[in-house]
Each structure stands twice: as structure tokens, then as C-alpha cells.
Structure 1
Amino acid sequence: MSSAVTIDRPEGAIADAPAMADLVELARSRSADDRRRLLSGVLTLCRTEPGVRASPVLSDIFMTLARQAERDVRFALSQALAAADWAPPPLIHILALDDIEIARPIIAASPLLADADLLRILVEATLEHQIEVARRPHLSPVVADAIIDQAEPAPLTALAGNTSARLSDEAMRRLVEHSRRIAGLRSPLSRHPRLTEVLAAQLYAWVGQALREAINERFQIEDARLAPAIDRAVDQARGRTGSFSLGATDPAASDEADRRLVMKLQAGGQLRAGLLVRALREDRLSLFENVLAALTGFPFSQIQAALRAPGPEALFLACTAAGVDKAVFSPMLLEVRRLCGGLPGGDAHWRPPVVTREGAAQMFRRLTAAPHSSAV
């Protein structure tokens, strides 16, 4: 293969706008050097004299280059014409179906590729071409739906990462549904601007812990999933109907109501660490204590002592044993101190250690069992 073509200053380039007769003569030559000179001359002519762009002769020259030129010439032609709105459409169609390295700039940027052309590429070209179509900026809903219909994992993943694609609500729903079997879709979908809270809750059930944290930070999925169950359990526990806010309880009966609520949620398998955050957010310290005791299995008295200890270690260990992420504990500690008059105390520069849930549970038991412990 010959050396790569340079469009701006190729060897033998025509410095000024060439005459059409010269271009026709070059087009008849089979010399590789003449074809490079022809390409340079045609592009120079198009840049300097826009009026010649629609010339049938010029279109014929372009088509000759596309069909007969060496690969590096076709590659240079593709790069030069990728964003041109004046190139002959048949030429663009040929280049879009060429080898993927030649086709990529055309598929990505050509304004002359209509939806019908992109659909043809999806049907006739390689998987690599399909991926490039899925990445095309501002992809139309028609083409996006066709990609989803084909259900090929790689193009679907590229489409999920294309945030400029004009996806319908139904297309997003189908992508999320595909993510049940195609793990590669989950990460881009979790960041997609068109992901709704309803779809996020569905996606949440299929992703790993890292993506769950990202989704929960964006949508508060844990709270959203727990809220209906909590409201129903509270209504049943108090014999009421209608919705219920955690902040609307009768203070005289709050401790008993919180205990019964936690028992019902735990019996139904609906007790989650996310309720700890919600309880603090709504100033329900008693609910926080009951949930933490139920999640860990630690005695309620030890949980209360941990909240009022001179240091935060015991509370951190209990929260970690309950499944609270280390990154969540610091803001949670501030909320507990707000509700407990500044307790648990401790050094302002204290940082939580790295410990597993099982390790935290063991350390909590040892700490609370130690006689005259200053931590609890």
C-alpha cells in the first residue's frame, strides 16, 4: 500500500484552482500518483470555487476515485468530505459502506445520510458499522428503534452511551429491559439524562453495589422503594387509612409505634439501611435507634448507649454492621449529633476506619462487652 494521503499539501498538489480539463485528464490515468494529484486538485477546486460543486463532471470524478482509488486515497476522501453538504450523495453512500476506517467519519458526521441510509447500513454493513451508527450524534428515534429491534449487545451499548440520541420513552424502557441480560448497558444507562425514576428503580435491581450507590445518589431509590412499604406498615400498625408521613406521629406514642413499624417491615423483608437516613432526615431518633437495633441484632440499650457515647466508634461500627456505607456515615453522624445534643462526642478529626460488616459486628460486640469502656 502507498503512503497515506495528505490533503493540505500532498506531493504534486495543484497549488491554484485547477482547470476542469486537467482534472478530467488526471481521472483517466491509472497512476497512483495521478490519483493523489486528482484528489488534491478536486478538493482545492471545491474549496475555492463553490459554484463547481454541483458539476456532473465533478461528481463523476469523485465516483471514479471512490470506486478505483487505493485505500489511502478513499480514506483521505472520506475525511475531507465527512462534514460536506455539497458532496455527491451517491459518493457518500459508497464511502459509508466501505471499510470501517473509511466509513467511520462519514457515518459520524455526514449531513447527507438520511434515516433510510442509516437503516441500510444497519442491515447491510458489519457490526462495526452498526456501532458507529449507534454513536452518531443526534440519532433519530426511527434509527434508534431499529438498533433496539436488532438487539445486538455492542450497538445497544453504544446507543446507551449516546446521550444526544433522540430516544423515546419506550426506547429507554426497552434499553433498561435489555440491561437485564446485557451487563454492558447498565453503567451508561445509570448516567443517561433520560433515565427516569421509575426506570432507575428497575435498573437498580440488576446492577452491582457501585452502580447502586450512583443511582441512589441521583434518585434516592432506596427511599423511594421503602416509602410505600413504610406508609402501608404504619397504617396497619395504627389502624389508619391513607398516606402517612414519618414526621406526623404523636410524640407520646412514637416509641411504641416505631418499634411496631420496624417489626412489620422486618417481618415482610422490607427493612433496609436506607430507612436510617430517612429517619434522621425527618428527626425520628427513636425510629433510627429501632431500625439500627433490628438490622444489627444488637440490644436496643447498646444502640442507645452508642448514640450517647463520648466517641463515635461504637455508632460507626453499628452502622457499618447494618450495611451503611462508610461515605454515608460522616453526614449521618452530624445528624445524630444534631438530635442528641452533640453526642456522640469525640475528636473532630476522627476518621472512620476500613472494616467489613462482619468485622464491624465483632468489634462492636467486643467494644460494648468491655468493662468500663469509654467508647460506649
Structure 2
Amino acid sequence: MSEVLKTELVNFRNLNHGGDTSRSAELARHVATLFAYTSDRCSDEQVDIYDSVLLRLVGMVETEVRHFVAEKMAGLRRGPEETIRRLAEDDIEIAEPILRRSTVLRDADLVRIAGGKSDTHRLAISKREVLSEEVTEVLVVCGDLMVKRQVARNPGAVFSDASMANLIDYAASDATIQISLSEREDLAEHHIKQLVTLASEEVRKVLMARGRKADADRLPEAAELAAQRLTNEYWLGRYDFETARNRVLRLAKRGMINEMALRRYVTEDRFAEAVAAFAWMAHCGVEEVSHWMVREDPEPFLVMAKAAGLSSITISGLLSIGAWRVRLSAKARFHAIETFNMMTVAEAERRMAHWNHVVLN
């Protein structure tokens, strides 16, 4: 196979002397189609041969044919790397399918192209299913507003803390970026608070301009409350509590939900099931408990846990999964355990009774 490829796939001597561009175009289409059909069965040596042939052919043909070759190469899991790099740096009408879809391109290739080519190339890259931190950073730094907006809405983009902070800075003057970032599921809590504060600052300016200083002065407190609500909703949206509740309820009917089962959920990092199991043991609703178990202040949860008779070992585990893995510092977690250990069951029951009285009245 390799000898045939080397000697008969393309006769470049005849092409160079004949000056027949239509023949070059026909061969480029033929070779690209043949490789796309056989790529999974080619050896590494055969791929290299195709690469050398296609690389020469794409240098001899017009835009339409290079676009055809790029479309054939874009979706392949393995391919002629030098040819694909060449096409990725071509004019955007040729490069776009490669930049958007080719998994043959490495991060180093994408970083180089994003840093050195046009915003249209960067926009194509920003639409890839997965963007590494390195690639995302270059797109945020070098890209125009359209590129930044696309990166912000791309769920497959991975951000470093620095590149996210950079994008949030741009969000100060662009509501589209603000909205896209607020809908992401991978924001760190401090980024969420930055976004909320950012939006409230714009409102503050409007209020001050209208002479409503008293309202404007209250905005920092309102912004903090809004940030807490937004962060809580962010964490609640990451888990399927309804499915977990049904699963736990089935086990509870068979007498299989107890503190040991709760600890097992903690060990397996199954937060939704841990919430559902805790709710059943504390005789509370899953929705209510889920809200208590994602907020920054764990005190209401500690009261319910003490009233339910759970041990400090179990509570320590629960304070280390789900939202609390991120939202509670080691110091806050230690303080919470101390508070739990100092609290008596009678005190917890009194506080629970007081809450119920307030709600009913």
C-alpha cells in the first residue's frame, strides 16, 4: 500500500509541467475524499504520505478546492497534521471548519493562531466544543467584542481565574457578556459576587443621577443579598434533587435510610442523595433542606442536625461536600463543628419549635 501511495497516488512531475489547474483540483478532491474514507484504517506511515501529498496539492489549488479539502478533514479523529495546520491558517472561509471542529489541532496550534491571526479566526476557535484555559485566555485578551461574547456563552470554555476576571471587567460595559456569564454553571463564588456587584454599580449610577442618594446608599447591602441568592440558586441548579428524593424514599420505605446510609452518600460525594436522606431523617421537605445546605451560613442546618440526633462525624462529612466544599473555609467548618458540639438537643428542639411558631403565625 505504501509503495503504491509513494509512486502512483499523484505524479507531481506531470502536474508541474502540464500547468493544468483543473487536474490539480480534481486530484486534491480525490485524495481528500479517499483519505477521509480510509483514515481510520491507515497506518501512521500512510497518514504521513497522504499528508505530504495533500500539503503540496492545497498549495496548487484555488479557494473553493481548499475549502472542500478543509471540510473533509475537519471532522476526522486523526489526519494529516501539517495539511490541517496549513488549512487552519488559511483565509477564514477555508480555515473555519478546521478551527471549529478539528480535534487534530493541538492547543499549541490554537494558541498560536488565536494570537496571530484575525478576529474571524478567533471567533471560529471560540465556537469549539472544548476550549482549554490557555486557549480561552488568548481569546479573551486578543479577541474583539464578538469573540469575548462567544467565549462567555461557550459552555465548553475553561477559564483560569485571571481570564474570568478579565472577562468580567469587559462585562462592565456589555450587558450581553453579563447575561452569558450569569448563566454559566462553572463560576466561582467570588466571580458571581463580582457580577452582581458590577450590575448593581450600574444601577447605583442611575439612582445617583436621579438624585435618589438614599436608595443608592442602600445598594451595597442589597447587592450582597442578591449575590447570596444568586450563588444559592447556582448551587441548587447543579443537582437533581427530585430524582434523589424518589430514590431515597424507596429505600426509606424498606428501612434502609439511617445515619450509616447518610455517611455512605457523603463518602461517595452524592450530595443530592445526602440532602434527601437528611431531609427524611429530620422530617423536613427536600426543597427546604436543599436551601439550608447550600447557603454560606450553616447554622440552621446545624440546629436541624442536632435536633435529629446526628453525630458530629456525620456533620463534619456533610460540611465538606456539595456547595460547602467550596463555600466554607477550613476555619468556618471548624467553627461550625464547635457550634454543633456545644449545642444541646433540647436547645436545638426549642429553636426548631420557635421557627415553626414564627412560620405559622
- Give TM-score, length-normalised by structure 1: 0.48
Name which one, 1 or 2, has greater alpha-carbon Rg.
1
Structure with the bigger percentage of helix: 2
